[in-house]
Amino acid sequence: MPDFKDRPESARHEQIFCGQYYDDMGCTGFLGDPSKDRISVLMLGLSDGVALAPIAASTRVASLLAVDLDETALVRSLDSRNRLAAHIDFDSVVADAAHFLVVTPDRYDVIIVDLYTQSAYAPIVFDHEFHQLLKSRLNPLGHVVFNGFGVPMNLDPFNGPTPQAWLAHCLNDSWGDIHYLPHRRNATFIIGPPPLTLLGTAPAVEFLCASDRLFMDIMSLRLRYLIPTVIRHTPLVPPALDFVGIDLEVQKRWMDSLPALSALLPASLKLIKPNDLRVLLDDADACQALQERLLKDKSSLRTTLALLIAGEVNFSERDMSWLADWVVATLENSVEIHPRDWLEGLFPYAYGLITHRTRGDVTKVEGFRRALARLSPSVSLTPSDNEPTSAYADTRKP
């Protein structure tokens, strides 16, 4: 196995967060015992290593051990591993996750579970005995993090036969109280005490570029308003947990959502099939008008357009910059603001759009810095490139 102990330090200001679901692994630096300046992380499931850089974006992460049964993961993750900062003590092991937990004598501050086969969830993810093994390898005040892929967050993923509802049900049986960060089709479940949200301890200010520093500020506030998992109509038997079956459930839910969305649109823009939503994205004025109506909607559909755009930016060159501009302008001009309504999707998706499309354009980032200050006036943000370093405010929710 190659030795990565002496790898060169990553280039300064290389952008890490680009609007992808694995960006939410940036939460890791805020987890673990809050009294610790340095934490240890165990990652079960390496795959191609896309989550490594977000995990290592915090100087609190001292060590990161990745375990994967597939030895090709070491090759596929090489580029991602080479991006890790020099402060990280990284190692990897080819092993079965459960067997590793049985034989290792070590404990960790954060354990991340991201276990899938080529075509489905790994069955062990839902196993109560596996959950007990995780508990046995966790340090006091530590956290367990599960990546829950499945139904898009705007399609009521904790209601009925969805993988997220089933995983949440199994995790509740093992732990009791779980929360999550939403991102498109992924729920990042976080199990443990309230996370650390002291801005000065998690980011590596001298190491991250401006857009990444603001991402970490946004993450801090999202963790302050971490969403409790409320399951409605838990399925009596496991739903489809393979990717083909999950996609069939997704297609059904998109169809079911169209009448409610069409009711908010002019008759000429009536939605007949899910692909009509992509066509709608070409009409910026109609999209903005729909988004303004959705903002008042208290259902999960309120994030539909933002979620669609967060996905489309990976595949389309269409101009969707109106969303970022609308989010910033609306927050700056709003008299009454409910932070959770924005942080559960609209704000992170819009910020992901500008970090992905503009690679962290400084002028766009500054607009979101101002908007973030409106979401939480008590938060002292990390300094921008042209500001001196200052003290940070503890934003933990009382």
CB-count burial class (<10 Å; 0-12, 13-18, 19+) for 228: exposed
Q: Which of 137-146, 183-192, 226-235 is predicted least confidently?
A: 226-235
Model confidence pLDDT, tens digit, residues 106-126: 999 999 999 999 999 999 999
Res 387: pLDDT: 45
Model confidence pLDDT, tens digit, residues 33-59: 999 999 999 999 998 889 999 999 998
Q: How far is CA 311 from the centre of its chain?
A: 13
Q: How far is CA 304 from the centre of its chain?
A: 17
CB-count burial class (<10 Å; 0-12, 13-18, 19+) for 114: buried
Model confidence pLDDT, tens digit, residues 306-338: 999 999 888 888 888 899 999 999 999 988 899
For range 97-112, the mean pLDDT: 97
Q: Is 149 left (phi over 0), alpha (psi -120 to 50) or beta?
A: beta
CB 233 within 8 A of CB 186: no
Cα separations (Å) of 83 from 13, 86, 213, 217? Answer: 11, 9, 17, 22
Distance between CA 55 and CA 165 in Å, rounded?
Answer: 25
Q: Which amino acid is at 305?
A: L
Model confidence pLDDT, tens digit, residues 342-354: 999 999 999 999 8
Backbone angles phi, psi at 194, to 5 degrees: -55, 130
What pTM value is reported for the model?
0.89
Backbone angles phi, psi at 377, to 5 degrees: -60, -20
Strands 179-183 and 186-191: antiparallel
pLDDT band at 392 (very low <50, low <70, confident <90, very high): very low
Backbone angles phi, psi at 188, to 5 degrees: -90, 100
Reduced 3-state DSSP string for the chain: CCCCCCCCCCCCCCCCCCCCHHHHHHHHHHCCCCCCCCEEEEEECCCCCCCHHHHCCECCEEEEEEEECCCCHHHHCHHHHHCCCCCCEEEEEECCHHHHHHHCCCCEEEEEECCECCCEECHHHHCHHHHHHHHHCEEEEEEEEEEEECCCHHHCCCECCCHHHHHHHHHHHHHCCCEEEEECCEEEEEECCCCCCECCCCECCCCCCHHHHHHHHHHHHHHHCCEECCCECCCCCCCCCEHHHHHHHHHHHHHHHHHHHHCCCCHHHCCCCCHHHHHHCCCHHHHHHHHHHHCCCCCHHHHHHHHHHHHHCCCCCCCCCHHHHHHHHHHHHCCCCCHHHHHCCHHHHHHHHHHHHCCCCHHHHHHHHHHHHHHCCCCCCCCCCCCCCCCCCECCCC
